[in-house]
Amino acid sequence: MGAWLDIGWLNEIPVRGSRTVQVEGGDDIAIFRTGENKLFALLDRCPHKHGRLSQGIVHGGAVACPLHNWRISLTSGEALGEDKGCTPTIPVKVSGGRVLICRASTLKAAA
């Protein structure tokens, strides 16, 4: 097994949107693409009430949870503003137009 999981083409992830990757026996991973064309991957679960972050709206470097509008940093996974909590981040990169996420971090975060 390689160190990186190929999850598809970059152009399959909408700008200011997300795509999810199912993890057997664990929580899904959400891959976000910002308006600046940067990619981030987080466990698809808000630290507050476990809302699916992939269903939230991407604003700059954060995503708003669809349940209670908590803003979660795409870089650190930390809740922003007055809110407290963190969701695990997953290393992500693009190679040849393909999006890759770190296998070990994905398995650890989703467990």
Q: What is the pLDDT of residues 59-111, one digit of tens each?
A: 989 999 998 889 999 999 999 988 899 999 999 999 999 999 988 776 676 66
User: Residue type for 52, please?
Assistant: R
According to the model, what pLDDT value does residue 65 have?
Answer: 93
Domain positions in the chain are: 4-110
Q: What tens digit of pLDDT does each residue of 26-73 get?
A: 789 999 999 999 999 999 999 988 899 999 999 989 999 998 889 999
Quote the tokens at residue 108. Answer: 């650890």
pLDDT for 83 equals 86
Please tell me whether the overall predicted TM-score, pTM, comes out greater than 0.75 for this model.
Answer: yes
Please give the Cα distance from 51 to 71 (Å, whole number).
12
Residue 6 has pLDDT above 90, yes or no: yes
Long-range contacts of residues 50-54, Cβ cutoff 8 Å, at least 24 apart: 52/20, 52/28, 53/18, 53/87, 54/18, 54/19, 54/20, 54/28, 54/30
- What class, spelled out in words, does domain 4-110 have in CATH? mainly beta
